[in-house]
Amino acid sequence: MSDDVKTETRSALERLFGRRPGAVIVKLLLISLLVGFVMSLVDFNVGDVVRGMLQIAREALRDGVGLFQQMGVYILTGAGVVIPIWLLLRLTRGKN
């Protein structure tokens, strides 16, 4: 077979991050800065996320049947945040 498996000697941090840890940390800091800026523009903070999660838990305990009806709304709402972040990460990720 012509495909030889290369044995790479990568550190544990490089295996964890997928590439040089310094470059990944800088990229995460820049993305965090961008996301934090956008979130502050719409007056959204981490406290809102925690309060929202607690409210979801309370609602789930209070009316279990309503949870299944609201799950679709929660999924679509979450996808409105998660999908753009995922897309941004995929676009900023170079070849490994």
- Given a cut of 60, is residue 6 above it in pLDDT? no
Q: Does residue 1 sit within a domain?
A: no
d(Cα 24, Cα 20) in Å, to the nearest integer?
6
| Total domains in the fold of the chain | 1
Provide the domain limits for residue 72. Answer: 12-92
The single-letter DSSP state of residue 5 is: P
pTM of this prediction exceeds 0.95: no
pLDDT digits (tens, 9 = 90+) for 14-27: 777 777 778 888 88
Q: Does residue 85 sit within a domain?
A: yes
pLDDT digits (tens, 9 = 90+) for 48-88: 888 988 998 888 777 776 667 678 788 888 888 888 888 88
